A and B are shown apart, each in its own frame.
Chain A
């Protein structure tokens, strides 16, 4: 059976779900960050699929921007994590609770 739009969207959905579960489950900040990227990737896949099946370039162009923004976000986020590590000497999320009341 030819993979239709639904198939591609299902894959994207599963990727998103896995990424989200990773954010909820992992305690290593860096792995949480990677799972965030996984969620973004899932959304790019969905966009390209819809763009292809509805014969429009808009989706693909949007993916272009998503990749750009994701790259910038990763850079800044990792810089923050490194700075945080320098102060707190940990990347474990449950030890980074200084905003607790």
Chain B
């Protein structure tokens, strides 16, 4: 049973990703992206990383992609539809094939572990950082071993917030521009 789900969801993810790349309209691309992220979340569930799956849906597919959609829709409909560049097509597809082959080869370097070890719900005292499914493990790890990165991530978010506010301020020059005029050099 899990094998079927795996193949189904991985096919979904990869197909949706291809559609993201090949779609003409940016809004369609965003929608396909959401489907792809949902597929990845399902794969997380299959790996018993339940907390991360939910996090992926809520933060990534939810907040980040919604933000994307906001911005896409903010822009002029005419600018949304930009086709793929024909010149780069051959090079890009060649790169794609090569990268895919490379990924395949890389993946084969790892051992073909079939039997998944049994994982507890909560970490045991012998293996405190062992893989466990409860959300508590994240809390445990974040506040002991990864405390510093945690705090730094907080600072990072603060910096990002301040940056966004500064960047999105309207300058006096912007309001004088007529969108129909050609862009200034």
Report if A and B touch in the complex (beta carbons < 8 A).
yes
Total chain A interface residues with beta-carbon distance under 8 A: 79
Evaluate whether A10 and B21 lie within 8 angstroms (CB atoms) in the complex, with A28-B26, A37-B33, A64-B138 already known.
no
Please determine whether A61 and B146 come into contact, CB atoms closer than 8 angstroms: yes
Partner of A37, one of B13, B64, B75, B114: B64
Residues of B within 8 A of A95 (CB): 183
Residues of A within 8 A of B173 (CB): 87
What 1/0 flags go to B30-69 for Cβ under 8 Å of A?
A: 1001001100100110111101100110011001100110
Partner of A9, one of B13, B85, B110, B123: B110
Residues of A within 8 A of B76 (CB): 89
The CA of A73 and the CA of B161, in the complex, are separated in Å by 10
Evaluate whether A92 and B82 lie within 8 angstroms (CB atoms) in the complex, with A55-B117, A57-B141, A86-B174 already known.
yes
Please determine whether A13 and B102 come into contact, CB atoms closer than 8 angstroms: yes
What 1/0 flags go to B136-150 for Cβ under 8 Å of A?
A: 011001100110010
Contacting A at CB under 8 A, from B108-163, are 108, 110-117, 119, 123, 127, 129-132, 137-138, 141-142, 145-146, 149, 153, 156-157, 159-161, 163
Please determine whether B141 and A61 come into contact, CB atoms closer than 8 angstroms: yes
The CA of A91 and the CA of B76, in the complex, are separated in Å by 10
Q: Which of B88, B107, B114 has the most CB of A within 10 A?
A: B107
Please determine whether B183 and A20 come into contact, CB atoms closer than 8 angstroms: no
Residues of A within 8 A of B179 (CB): 89
Evaluate whether A3 and B183 lie within 8 angstroms (CB atoms) in the complex, with A51-B131, A82-B71 already known.
no
Please determine whether A63 and B75 come into contact, CB atoms closer than 8 angstroms: no
Contacts A50-B110, A64-B142, A89-B76 supplied; 11 other A-B pairs, CB < 8 Å: A2-B3, A13-B106, A15-B36, A17-B99, A30-B26, A48-B52, A55-B131, A65-B153, A72-B159, A78-B71, A90-B79
